[in-house]
Amino acid sequence: MASARTWTRSALIVAVFAILVVLTTQVTAQGWLTDADVPVHDWFVDHRTDRWTTVADFVTNAGGPGWVVTTTVVLAAFVAWRRRSPMPAIFLLGIVETAAIASKFTKLAVGRDRPPEVSRLATVADMSYPSGHATHIAAFVGALWVVFEIRKHSTARIVSLATLSAFVVAAVACSRLYLGVHWLTDVVAGVLIAAVVVLIGALAYALVDGGEPLIQRVTARRRAIV
């Protein structure tokens, strides 16, 4: 029988996915959930300065798909070596890449235009919805929570890491809004896609323990009992 935690996680996955579907439907139909897109875009454009533009450029590059994927690969290799198991590395890479693929397919399916080119401070070539930057950074941060099982740490550490995680994701998301290459709902959708994939990854990772497959754990325990 599935544990209460499993049911809770499953319900959370369904809830977040439902929110994503509603948001995507609204974006496609230009519904009321997109009403804040233009005002938020205009606010960032109106409050640009040379200093903040430099900061936004740095953040958007540091949190971009290229650096995120590279960092994920390097960290996955280190974790696999450190734990003497490929499982944590597989989950780390799998979560980030699955979210990235989901983001790309959604871009193609929705086909939303970017904000006006005249207001952009960065060069972009693909569709706007969802934000690939927001998807990648949120998936990467979430994957770290799953693989390093941060939920098992002390309350103080969890709060500190949660605050840091939220700040990192928000910083990258805001950099995309500041540079005028995304609408508000684009970055929200990117985070939601990452959240769905991370939650599914967490549910799957619950079947392993420190990188050791569940079937191996069960076998080892049975032998110990005998």
CA proximity to 107, closest of 130, 89, 88, 124: 130
Output the pLDDT for position 200.
95
- The residues with which 208 forms a beta bridge, in sequence order, are 213
Supply the Cα-derived Rg of the chain in whole angstroms. 19
CA proximity to 63, closest of 14, 150, 163, 133: 133
Contact, 212 vs 86, CB < 8 A? no
For position 66, which CATH number holds?
A: 1.20.144
Write out the residue range of the structural domain in which residue 133 sits: 4-225
d(CA 27, CA 174): 19
Q: Which residues in the chain show pLDDT less than 70?
A: 1-2, 209-226
Total domains present in the chain? 1
Output the pLDDT for position 133.
97
- The residues with which 209 forms a beta bridge, in sequence order, are 212
Output the pLDDT for position 2.
54
